[in-house]
Amino acid sequence: MLVFLDGSHAFGFDMLNSEMEYSPVIACRRPFLFLTCLRRGVKFPPRGGRTGRKNPGFSRRRTQFPVMKSPHIFSSESVGEGHPDKVADLISDTVLDACLEQDSASRVACETLVKDAHVVLAGEISTTAQLDFDQIVRSTIREIGYGSAGDDPVFNAESVRILNFLTTQSPDIARGVDAREAEGKDGAEQGAGDQGIMFGFATNETPEMMPAPVMFAHRIMQELARARHTREVDWLRPDSKSQVAVEYGEDGRLTRIINVVLSTQHAPDVPLQEIRRYCKELVQRVLPADLLRSDTEFFINPTGRFVVGGPHGDSGLTGRKIIVDTYGGMGRHGGGAFSGKDCSKVDRSGAYMCRWVAKHIVAAGLAERCELQVAYAIGKAEPLSVMIDTFGTATSISEEEITRRVREIFSFKPADMESVLGLRRPIFRRSTNYGHFTKPDLPWEQMDPTRLEALRS
């Protein structure tokens, strides 16, 4: 038995029978729950029992949990391009794009490990492209801002040692992905490159249809990068992180920014007061003024010193910033990383497709908030399941009808996703930093007017 407190009512959920009941006995079987209900002024309608009256919003066929609208605070973070995990991500995506520039049919799964003066490449690549991995790695590190010993005495483009453990794709995996018949394979269509689940999310909170906390954190990082690359100040260094806590009101709308955390690597001789003054002003010019209050707290370089950073300070690994890459924790994540993977890996293409469809649902006015989940089996073209959740914000039609229209209008087959989104192009290093779902020029962020109209009708 689970208990949900929704405003001033208590609900008991019978997990064995998938039934939602109004019941003070069931909902408050334990004393501390009963006291919690009393303190919150919970009203207990007459007990109906398992054969009594059910909440008409819940059914054995599909149970929808109450949407909590109470005031709450939600925090999300972002990281800069010099963060060690993002250094690894960008190297992996640069390798991917270099393959696709020469061979659009490349199969790429490139992982990168960075630590101190070492860069390790590992994974599987099957391509006709001829690549200079040494040049790719060093130019990427230089572009980030670790060009020479003057930028970092340990990790820099001139002195890193590169170890390459890349091999070709397993033929057992390739036979499932290839668009051809194979013994034991069901059909000749291109199948998913692996099993797994992927999610996509969209909300009308921001113009980007992204959750506000993570979007605000990205904006801080983007402005800090701009200031560093243009040398607006000369003491900024590549490694940085931000975090923003946003308060939501009873109506689920943004009310204010509670606090901001910003840590940036810097030159050794700059005064802490100068760092804090400059960074606070930077934050104030990129975040909405109407959400910043006199009591908004700023935690800037809280340790007082951040000179040793990047892969010199911490190891970095491809795929360790999957929440930063997506929805800041507000939307769910299937667990598969994006960077370094070509689009035959549904970890990436499936997540991009789900985002594209969720964005269309919100843009079409069918819901204020939407999440999709798809699931695949390796070698199979059709997804095993497609789930759509609007969190109770569907505006005019049911979730079942939204799902029916989506399945009619969009195809989740790997080959179709590659085609409609143009994923065989070298566009992926553009997605690496500041969120994969924040740049309007990327194809999975662009709206299709024809599909929008079809969803509405």
At the top level of CATH, the class of 210-309 is alpha beta
**260-275 confidence digits (pLDDT tens):** 999 999 999 999 999 9
**381-393 confidence digits (pLDDT tens):** 999 999 999 999 9
Strands (E), 137-253: 161-167, 196-203, 236-248
Is there a contact between 183 and 171 (Cβ–Cβ < 8 Å)? no
196-205+345-456 and 210-309: same fold? yes
**Could you tell me the fold of the domain covering 196-205+345-456?**
GMP Synthetase; Chain A, domain 3 (3.30.300)
**211-241 confidence digits (pLDDT tens):** 999 999 999 999 999 999 999 999 999 999 9
Q: What is the pTM of this model?
A: 0.84
**96-105 confidence digits (pLDDT tens):** 999 999 999 9
Measure the CA–CA gap between 219 and 257, rounded to whole angstroms.
14
SS3 of 377-431: CECCCCCCEEEEECCCCECCCCHHHHHHHHHHHCCCCHHHHHHHHCCCCCCCCCC
Domain ranges for the chain: 2-66, 196-205+345-456, 210-309
The DSSP string of 86-133 is HHHHHHHHHHHHHHHHH-TT-EEEEEEEEETTEEEEEEEEE-S----H
The DSSP string of 166-188 is EEPPPHHHHHHHSSS--TT-SSS
Report how many helices (DSSP H) and strands (DSSP E) the chain contains, helices first: 13, 14
Query: Binning pLDDT at 50, 70 and 90, where does residue 186 land?
Result: low
Pull the structure tokens for residue 95: 């390798």
Measure the CA–CA gap between 114 and 88, rounded to whole angstroms.
6
The DSSP 8-state label assigned to residue 442 in this structure reads: S
The mean pLDDT value for 242-264 works out to 96
